[in-house]
Chains A and B, each alone.
Chain A
Amino acid sequence: GQQVMQIPQYQHVQEGEDFTTYCNSSTTLSNIQWYKQRPGGHPVFLIQLVKSGEVKKQKRLTFQFGEAKKNSSLHITATQTTDVGTYFCAGRETSGSRLTFGEGTQLTVNP
């Protein structure tokens, strides 16, 4: 079955440093989504990428979808303490019907 892998599992940064998490699928995806879960909270939808090579930005967050539509990345520029949380990617394979979540990257930011 479809597998979605995320690396790293954990990332500790100093406030102001950049952060990147990577998502890789074993199959070609119809789309990729990113969610953020704050400590003690529930996952919240951030963005969806659909097109091959697509890049989207939300303030300091940059999301990319690979040309082959099998990988994606989330990059945060100049992290802030408000960025703390776990970031999940989730994708649906082209021939599939359900979303598969990655294991998430847990980000901590030291002030």
Chain B
Amino acid sequence: SQTIHQWPATLVQPVGSPLSLECTVEGTSNPNLYWYRQAAGRGLQLLFYSIGIDQISSEVPQNLSASRPQDRQFILSSKKLLLSDSGFYLCAWKSGRRTDTQYFGPGTRLTVL
């Protein structure tokens, strides 16, 4: 069966520090991968999606970037965090083009102080 992992689960970082969040998927190959951000009590904001290795599409211009160095690994990064980067970061995957159903990881709760 397929599983999706995210780490760390929680993170407290100072403003201006770098960020690296990791997401890995097991039990499937060539998944579509997504990064979402959720502010407290709000909806899901799509940040990046990827249909394959090194194929990243950005939905919202900001100081975040994403990379997919391996088929089942998706990384969200920042060189300098802003206060507004605080939120709940969710990684999700779906199986190619045959389905629209997305499966979410447990998320990383980021607080920027």
Cβ-based interface call for B102 (8 A): yes
Residues of B contacting A92 in the complex (Cβ-Cβ under 8 angstroms)? 100
Whether B106 pairs with A42 at a CB distance below 8 angstroms is yes
* A31 in contact (CB, < 8 A): yes
Size bracket, chain B contacts:
10 to 19
B11 at the interface (CB under 8 A from A): no
Given A42-B105, A42-B107, A43-B90, are A88 and B100 also a contact pair (CB < 8 Å)?
no
Q: How far is the CA of A98 from the CA of B101 in the complex (A)?
A: 11
| Contacts across chains A and B counted by CB atoms under 8 Å | 38
- A33: which of B42, B101, B107 is its contact (CB, 8 Å)? B101
Docked-complex contact A98 and B107, CB < 8 angstroms: no
Q: If the complex has contacts A42-B90, A42-B105, A43-B90, are A99 and B41 also in contact, measured as CB distance less than 8 A?
A: no
Q: Contact residue range for chain A? A: 10 to 19
Among B85-113, those with CB < 8 Å from A are: 90, 100-107
A101 near B44 with CB under 8 A, answer: yes
Q: CB-CB < 8 A to B61: which residues of A?
A: none
A85 within 8 A of B: no
- Interface positions, chain A 22-45, Cβ under 8 Å from B, are 30-31, 33, 41-45
A43:B104 contact, CB within 8 angstroms: yes
Q: Which of B44, B103, B106, B107 contacts A88 (CB under 8 A)?
A: B44
A103 CB to closest chain B CB (Å) equals 4
Tell me which of A43, A45, A48, A104 has the highest count of chain B C-beta atoms within 10 A of its own C-beta: A43
Residue positions of B touching A, CB distance < 8 A: 41-44, 46, 49, 90, 100-107
